[in-house]
Structure 1
């Protein structure tokens, strides 16, 4: 068993010249396949199109290989994984060819032989000795076609946050559209009447022929058949002939009186969803617009209704209705219209904390020498996760050594990082990356924690590679050229956070759930509780790596993508992992944080231990200059650590360094006092070093904690404050001098390719 985690949860590539050209458009590298197509060169490196001998790709739970379950309509498209609905395409269990429960919010869904189960859980349970709260999927309705008995369900299409499950038994067909924030389910049916089976005898509160309102299990629904149809209620079966049409829809109503409002939009079918974002550098803000595409199946109405999560409506000025829905993420507010826009301040990131005179240069140099003098600075790491952590560890020391003027140590560290990255980026050695064209993914071998067989955690593992490469690029631009090793870095980015929707090799933003505002870890979503994510901070590590890589290489598209992802997920973490506003978790849930977010709720736990220190620390590591967003809610940090001490029965012992660094974001003096009292007796966390912990805590004790209320016109700038005195810091990746302007009016001139610090 590892120190950190236990397991969470075709067709061969034929790279044509056209596909190579597509790859070149995204990466900037022209990929020419060899005659045997065993190795795909990318700059100085490359990846294999065939897994190394003795390794495995995606499998079911008993080890049988699996292929994506999609219809011919989308068979040539890169298949999404790691989504809220991935069990539709990744059948983790051989005896279930349909799906696991899928948590769209406000509705929940599960595909079965007879159609689509739909529920709206408003009551929660607290289980697992009080550790987990969950709003479990229970079917109120099952939408189908009379007589439907499908042998499986496939995905027939998808967009940014919607998906189309498809059923067929040879005589009857059903295609549904479901999604995040959709109160409606849209059905296309053929071969029989529309048939809805209810959980218990429905209470009909309104009947207007083709539109009826029913209450089932305490929840209210509107049922909408084509004009001229008539719903027939018989026991627990509600059916309607569709005449010459092939559609019907169902909506969950916030209350029965909303039926008239929802009826206006019943035949405006959602056909797609798309996000767009804009980073306004001058304002230090990201604006994101979430748009639904619709089609009028009858009439002329093309508007719709959407339900917004808390992390969205808190940052939107768009008008909402007075109605709300219950969800595991707190209240969802309702908006009429096809789109809404959010606007959020961008959290600053730094490659290294500000320079101060608070450090003992000799002590710091000794700590760095301790790492470089070890027999193996990578501590035996061989797989993608543990190698990544070691790369991240060494990368943090590079910028500290550079700040201290220790160029010899800096360059030795850079050499170690380059050598290990180049080893992974070269086919045929002890480690390599392999592209799986069936699953449209790039997997590193040796793999770990299901990154191969379950497609888990790619964004966690590769975040460290991207971050380390960004640090290298900061000091060696030629190494980061696409024609050198940068092309392979971009392959990892395309696998985990591809910004292109038209890429033929990788799906758009694989791990990031655009509407939920955060990433998911499990590739298959093969759980009754939906998908999950444990280490939100490792997901953030990828976003920060994108900002730094994009800044260092002059790739504004990737920089701005990182800004959007960081800004969005930071707010989701604040709300859903740390309940910073204390408005999300059930009132009788006794923990102020969760270690894991699930589709159905959240859990005070990790995958590998119930020890409180790891539960609290897993959403902190790795601590970098991208962790500053956590300081937005200092009260939440204090509640977090107070609860840890309470649960632990005393001061924390394991991962003390991480938790002191976390504490320093709210109370640097307390963190320093605890650190100093320890006198180096602690054992560093596997991705930490004594040098980094010393530098972090003593620097922040001098500058004060981050003041995230002040923004800047650069994503790589931040402000710290102690006793009313502010320290301004920024890094300039460009080749010319830059003046950074902060929102309080302060300016800071930063030399080319340098960091600068000022007290205003």
Structure 2
């Protein structure tokens, strides 16, 4: 993607938090992350915990608390409980509430964040997946390590006084490593030191056999980490390290899978070194860089197998009726989300028409797409529109400037990839069928795209790098700059898939090979993550038995929690849960639900919930669509009896789906 000038009109938001509260001054001139793994550290009081694998980390203005969380399971959810196992600070605290006594972010990277606590002379290098919590004590300071528990014993490893073991009465064992000798002593529930400066590293020891491994890799520590997208379905992690030796990090289950698909010379997976996690076991990996590789995904406009000729007439009949109803004056919403769904729904008609060679309706669809899309790009859409705000660096809607709940929180950076994904799908289709229109609007289309698809400062300095996509978890977050006890979250995994699919389609329409490659790679990673963490298979042992027995799909996936319910529906509404993880129904849905056995499990789990229910026709459509993956005949019968459809779906689209299975 070539660099383009910024084009959306600027505005000022009255509802966004002030980024200068917790970011150092030198970071404020560049766009800041709005869906990051450390977002809680910079919102409100900055004192809600964040999950930085394998620890929950919570900061105050004077200290940092570390929890090796206890994982709780039920049939409705699983979550990690924060308990301040160890709290690190100076024993000579300055308790004044001046701005200088706040913690703040002094730097951040794809895989890490540096958090400074000036009042305690502490700088924490919080790098994701490190079994150690690492801090630099910037000048001689007497340290205090307190615990919620009682200290059973504190013992020095040898006369060097650079390693201590700490046993707590909750059975936890922690090791404290230092770069130079330190004198530690304890009293009740507090460990104190003489003035110390240098590096201190702390690690929990879940298994006594791990201590030798932790000892071996205790000196080399990461201060930051970068994830570089490779042109074709790859991601490379590289860490900035201090001290000699190899780096020990932890990989979640998807990392392990993708590491095995690639050549990783000099990388060793320690299968017997594991930390428990809400994301599944975190496994030790020794190596200074990782090469992660996914299977390739071929992004196409149409279904992979095509539609059989004998079914064309039925689809044409439905398509003619659906296209006839396209009427811009009948649109009753100015919500960026629901309007985007209308755009995406209409764009599907054009591609269905192409696939069944019924080109007669395409001019009508093209005209409708122009009339619906252009006002959002030209800045003259009545009642709403896209604007740029500089404090965080990104798009907001007119409605969201003064109302944090408008447009599902788009103005506070919620759901950007969802809303923009629908618009970009329509834009990609329109640029395909009308290349002259595509060229006319190309600069502003790319500005829209870069809001969540920017690859960094060199790409476009107006937006942060990959606003929603998390390069450690390998999927997106939707929750913006809102503080949550359990960190970032994402509900609709399939709308995230749509966002990167649509970005790749825009690349195809503009013959932009780099955009196609980037979009396809992010798409492949997102799909892998959805299949790993949202799709709960009967034989899966990733989640606890209680949760897996009752759930075939996750409702809301949080950084620190798995929830069976949705934001807008209870867990009992299984058809709601299925549908929000399927819509919109597209050619890429084939890849997302390429496991017919799982599709059957999910549908059979859902069907009892549909019995004797009215006003759920839209949700029935997605359930029957998924049934079509393994039982085309009965799914088709059910779809023909539907009396209504989701606002982003249609009878034409459901027929296309079933007939192309």
- Change beyond 3 A, Cα 1:334–1:691: same
Q: What's the counterpart of residue 179 of structure 1?
A: 127
Do the aligned residues in 1 keep the contact of 2:19 with 2:42 (CA within 8 Å)? no
Residues 307 and 659 of structure 2 are in contact (CA less than 8 Å); yes or no, is this contact kept in structure 1?
no
1:109, 1:408 → 2: CA distance?
Answer: 59
Aligned to 1:311: 254
Distance 2:314 2:546 in 1: 51
Query: Helix, strand or coil: the match of 2:436?
Result: coil
CA change 1:649–1:661 in 2 (3 A) is: closer
Instruction: Choose 153-162 or 310-319, whichever is displaced more.
Output: 310-319
Structure 1 residue 362: deviation in Å?
A: 5.8
User: Which is further off, 255-264 or 367-376?
Assistant: 367-376
2:569 match: 609
Superposition RMSD in Å: 2.4
Single out whichever of 410-419 and 263-272 deviates more from structure 2.
Answer: 263-272
Contact 1:499 1:561 in 2 (8 A): no
**From 611, 620, 642, the counterpart of 2:582:** 620
Note the 1:483-502 alignment, pairs <5 A.
484-502=440-458
Alignment of 1:630 onto 2:592: yes
8 Å Cα contact 1:361-1:404 kept in structure 2: no
User: Residue 421 of structure 2 corresponds to which residue in structure 1?
Assistant: 463
Describe the SS at the equivalent of 1:124: strand
Distance 1:372 1:215 in 2: 73
1:145-544 matches, within 5 Å, as 145-148=90-93, 149=95, 151-169=101-119, 172-190=120-138, 192-204=141-153, 207-208=156-157, 209-216=161-168, 217-241=170-194, 243=196, 245-280=197-232, 286-296=233-243, 300-301=244-245, 303-317=246-260, 318-321=267-270, 322-353=272-303, 354-361=306-313, 364-376=316-328, 379-430=331-382, 431-447=384-400, 448-481=406-439, 484-502=440-458, 503-544=460-501
User: Quick one: structure 1 residues 349 and 674, their matched pair in 2 at CA, closer, same or farther if it must change by over 3 Å?
Assistant: farther
- Stretches of structure 1 that go unaligned for 5 or more consecutive residues are 1-25, 32-39, 41-45, 92-96, 281-285, 701-760
SS state of the match for residue 425, structure 1?
A: helix
Q: Distance in 2 between matches of 1:210 and 1:236?
A: 21
Residues of 1 paired with 2:47 and 2:289: CA distance? 29
Instruction: Output the CA distance in 2 between the equivalents of 1:622 and 1:307.
Output: 35
Tell me: CA distance 1:644–1:373, structure 2 relative to 1, closer, same or farther (3 Å).
closer
* Cα offset, 1:459, TM superposition: 0.8
- Greater helix proportion: 2
- State the secondary structure of the residue aligned to 1:276: strand
Q: Which residue number corresponds to residue 658 of structure 1?
A: 622
Distance 1:601 1:547 in 2: 31
Please report the TM-score for the alignment, with normalisation by the length of structure 1.
0.78
CA distance in 2 between partners of 1:392 and 1:400 (Å): 12
Answering whether residue 507 of structure 2 is matched by residue 550 of structure 1, we say yes
Residue pair 1:550, 1:556 contacting (<8 A) in 2 also: yes
Q: Is the 8 A contact 1:496 1:509 kept in 2?
A: yes
8 Å CA contact 2:52–2:127 kept in 1: the answer is yes
**Is 1:426–1:432's contact at 8 Å kept on the other side of the alignment?**
no
Residues 631 and 666 in structure 1, CA contact (< 8 A), matched pair in contact too: no
Alignment of 1:575-594 (within 5 A): 575-580=532-537, 582-589=540-547, 590-594=550-554
C-alpha distance in structure 1 between counterparts of 2:47 and 2:629, whole Å: 42
State whether residues 348 and 629 of structure 1, in contact with CA within 8 Å, keep that contact through their aligned partners in structure 2: no
Q: Distance in 1 between matches of 2:588 and 2:257?
A: 23
CA pair 143-593 structure 1, distance change in 2 beyond 3 A:
same
Q: Which SS does the other structure have where 1:616 is aligned?
A: helix
* Counterparts of 1:255 and 1:491, CA distance in 2: 50
Matches within 5 A, 1:672-711: 672-676=636-640, 678=641, 681-700=642-661
Superposition deviation, residue 521 in structure 1: 1.0
Cα 1:654/1:425, change in 2 over 3 Å = closer
Residues 1:599 and 2:584 aligned together: no
SS of aligned partner of 1:562: helix
- The residue number in structure 2 matching 1:113 is 61
Deviations 1:170-205 (A, max 9, x none): xx3322121321211111234622322122123347
Give me the whole-angstrom Cα distance separating, in 1, the residues matched to 2:28 and 2:333.
37
Count of aligned residue pairs for this structure pair: 628
Aligned positions of 1:563-574 closer than 5 A: 563-574=520-531
The structural deviation recorded for 1:369 is 3.3
Instruction: Tell me whether 687-696 or 545-554 shows the greater mean CA deviation.
Output: 545-554
Q: Which runs of 5+ in 2 are unaligned?
A: 261-266, 401-405
Whole-angstrom distance in 1 between the partners of 2:276 and 2:126 = 18
- Whole-angstrom distance in 2 between the partners of 1:211 and 1:471: 62
Deviations 1:504-536 (A, max 9, x none): 221111101111111111112511122110001
Question: Any idea what the Cα deviations from partners look like across 1:241-264, whole Å, max 9, x if unmatched?
Answer: 454x33312123332332232233
Contact kept in structure 2, 1:518 and 1:568, CA below 8 Å = yes
Q: Is the 8 A contact 1:68 1:439 kept in 2?
A: no
**Residue in 2 that maps onto 1:756:** none
Q: Deviations over 1:119-140 (max 9, x none)?
A: 11243142xxx42221122221
The 3 A distance-change label for structure 1 pair 333 and 48 is same
How many angstroms does 1:152 deviate by? 3.1
